[in-house]
Chain A
Amino acid sequence: MNGLLTIFKRELKAYFATPVAYVFIVIFLVLVGVFTFYVGGFYERAQADLDPFLQFHPWLYMFLLPAISMRLWSEERKAGTLELLLTLPISLAASVLGKFLAAWCFTAVALAGTVPIWITVNYLGDPDNTVIAGGYLGSLLMAGGFLAIGSCISALTKNQVVAFVISFVICFAFNLSGYPMVIDIFSAWAPQAIVDVISSFSFLTHFNAIQKGVIDIRDLIFFASLIAFWLYANILAIEMNKSN
C-alpha cells in the first residue's frame, strides 16, 4: 500500500495544477451561499441551526461531484497514461483507492470553505454544534458515495463528458430512490421486497437522518458499504478493460 500514498499525492496535486480546483471551489461556495441564504431562507427562519445549508448538499453534490470524479480514469485512458499506471509496480486496488481518496480529500477542502457559515450561526445564535458536526460528517460521507459512483463510471469510458452525464444520472437516481419518481418505475412490476430495497438506497433519507443529528450506525454503514461496492466495481471495470 506504499504506492497508495504516492498516487493520492499526485492526484491531489493534479487538481490544483489545473484551474479545475479553483473553478470548482468558487462555484461550490457561491452556490452553497445562494441556496443557504436565498432559497433556504437562513435569516428569515431565525433558527440557530444549519438546516438551510445542509439540506441542499445532496442536490449540489449530485451535479458538482461528477465533475470532480469524471477525470479520474477517463483522462488516464484518453491520454494513454493508464498504460503507464497499470505497468507500474502498484496494485490496482491501491491506485483506485488512492485516486478516490484524493477526490474525496479535495471535496473536503471545498467543504471546509463553508466553515464561515458555521461561524456565522454561532455568532448569531446558540446552535447545537454536535448536530452541525454530525451534519458535516454526513455530508462528507455522502460526497464519498457520489465520488465512488463517479470514479467507477469514469473507468468505463474514455470520454469525460459521457462519464459526467452517466454519473449525474446515477447520482440523481440514488438521491431520489425513496421518492415516487424512482419507486413508480419499479412498483408496477417488481415485488414489494425489491421496491423496499431500492427505496432504502435513498441518499436523501440516510443523509437527512444524519443531518438531524441522529447518527445511526446503519446510516454510516450504508454509506461505507456503498463506497466499498462502487470502488470494487471500479476495480472490476479496469480489470475487464485489461482483458478486452
Chain B
Amino acid sequence: METLIEVDGLSKNFGALKAVSNISLNVTRGEVLGFLGPNGAGKSTTMKMITGFLAPTAGRVSIAGFDIEKSPLEAKRRIGYLPEGAPAYGEMTAAGFLDFIAEIRGIPRAERGARISEVVGKIHLEKVLHQRIETLSKGFKRRVGLAQAILHDPEILIMDEPTDGLDPNQKFEVRSLIQEMSAEKAIVISTHILEEVDAVCTRAVIIGQGELIFSGTPRELAARSRYHNAATVVVAGDDAERAEQGIAGVAGVAEVERKNSGDDVRLTVIPNAGAAPAAAVQKKLDEMNCPTHEFFIEHGHLDEVFRTITSAPGNNGEVHRT
C-alpha cells in the first residue's frame, strides 16, 4: 500500500521539557491509525508537527512525498486537519466559515456550493448553518471543525479527538463517517476512548511520556491483556464451589477470579500466556453436570492494557516497534 504519512525520528523539546522524543511511524492509504496516550503524553504535539503547525526539534515528516518543512504548501494542501478543541472563527456563521475554508483551499467557485452542501449533509449541520459559530454547542462546534477538515476531500486526514464533546449518537455517526472514508485515505485520530480504537482503527499507537511505546492492531493490543482469551462463566451460587475447583484443574488455566453477582457467582478464568482454555473449561463443566447461566470469551480489556503500558515507568524494554 502507498505510504501517505512518513514520520521519521520526530522530536520536540520545549526548553528543557522533552515533549516528544524520536517517534517514527508510517501510515498507508486505507489505514486508520489511533493515537492513544494519557493527557500530556505528546499526542497533540506530534499531530501539530505532522500538520506543520509546530517545527520539530529533530526528525522529519513527509506527506505524500512532500516534506512538511521544505514544501509546506504542497503538503498542507493534501491534509485535512481538525486541531485540538476544533477552533473556528466565532464571529462567522458556519456557512461563512466553510465558504472561507473552501476558498482558501482553492475549491473552484463553481464547485464550492455543491461541495459544501455535500459535507454539510454528511455531518448534519443544516440546522445551524446560519448561526454564528460562537453561539453553537460544543457538539456542533466540533462538527463544524470536522466539516472544515474534510471539505476538500483530503488524502490525509488528521483529527485530534474528533468525538470529544459529542453525545453517543453523534459519536457513532462520526465513527461511521471515518470508516466510510477510510478506504481511500490515510487517517490519524487521537482519542482517550478505547472502544473507539477497537471500533474504527486498523492500527493503534500508544504514546507515553513522548515516546512510542506500542504499535500494533487493536487486537494485538488487547492480546496483551491478562484477560485475553479469558472465559467468564456465570453459575448458580450453590454450584460455585465445585465449579471453581473443577475449572482450576483444567490445563492452561492460570487463575480463577470469583465475584458474586446477586445469587449467582461470576467466575473468570484467566489463562496461562498463549493458552485458550475456554473450550476445555466448557467441556469440564458439562462433564461435571454443572449448569451455566452465561458463558462468554473475552478478547482482553483495552483499558487495562492501556493502564499497564502507560503507567509503568521505564518499561521500554517491551516496546514493540514497527
Contacts and interface: CB of A to CB of B under 8 A. Distances in A.
Task: Tell me whether A and B are bound partners.
Answer: yes
Interface of A: 2-3, 6-7, 10, 13-14, 17-18, 79-81, 83-84, 86-91, 242-244
A195 B81 CA distance: 50
B76 A87 contact: yes
Interface in B43-63: 48, 51-55
Contacts of B96: 13
Contacts of B84: 80, 83
A81 B14 CA distance: 21
A89 B76 contact: yes
Contact of B91 (A14, A83, A244): A14
A88 B74 CA distance: 10
Given A81-B89, A83-B87, A84-B83, A91 B73 contact: yes
B77 A89 contact: yes
B133 to A, nearest CB: 10
A17 B53 contact: no
Given A80-B83, A243-B54, A89 B73 contact: yes
Contact of B73 (A13, A14, A90): A90
Interface string B64-95: 00000000011011010101110111111000
Nearest to A242: B55
A243 B49 CA distance: 10
Contacts of A13: 92, 96
Contact of A6 (B51, B52, B103): B103
A86 B91 contact: no
B53 A83 contact: yes
Nearest to A92: B72
Size class of the B contact interface (CB-based, 8 Å): 20 to 34
A182 to B, nearest CB: 35
A80 B53 CA distance: 11
B104 A7 contact: yes
Given A89-B73, A242-B53, A244-B14, A14 B89 contact: yes
Contact of B104 (A3, A14, A243): A3
B100 A6 contact: yes
B55 A84 contact: no
Contacts of B103: 6
B87 A17 contact: no
A80 B87 contact: yes
Interface of B: 14, 48, 51-55, 73-74, 76-77, 79, 81, 83-85, 87-92, 96, 100-101, 103-106, 148
Given A2-B106, A14-B89, A81-B87, A87 B51 contact: yes
**Ordered nearest first, which 5 A-B pairs have the shortest CB separation?**
A80-B87, A243-B55, A89-B76, A89-B77, A17-B91
Nearest to B160: A83
Contacts of A244: 14
A3 B107 CA distance: 12
A88 B104 contact: yes
A80 B85 CA distance: 8
Nearest to B101: A88
B321 to A, nearest CB: 28
Contact of B54 (A17, A91, A242): A242
Given A242-B53, A243-B54, 4 more contacts: A10-B100, A14-B89, A79-B89, A89-B76
A89 B90 contact: no
A14 B89 CA distance: 9
B105 A89 contact: yes
Nearest to B81: A87
Contacts of B77: 89
A10 B81 CA distance: 20
B89 A87 contact: no
Contacts of A7: 104
A86 B104 CA distance: 12
Nearest to B78: A89
Contact of B87 (A79, A88, A89): A79
A87 B55 CA distance: 12
Given A17-B91, A81-B87, A86 B53 contact: yes
28 contacts: A3-B104, A6-B103, A7-B104, A10-B92, A14-B91, A17-B91, A18-B91, A79-B89, A80-B83, A80-B84, A81-B89, A83-B83, A83-B87, A84-B81, A84-B88, A84-B148, A87-B79, A87-B83, A88-B101, A89-B74, A89-B105, A90-B73, A91-B73, A242-B53, A242-B54, A242-B55, A243-B54, A243-B55
A89 B77 CA distance: 5
A102 to B, nearest CB: 13
Nearest to A80: B87
Contacts of B91: 14, 17-18
Contacts of A3: 104
B89 A10 contact: yes
A13 B96 CA distance: 10
Contacts of B100: 6, 10
A77 B235 CA distance: 59
B56 to A, nearest CB: 9
Nearest to A11: B89
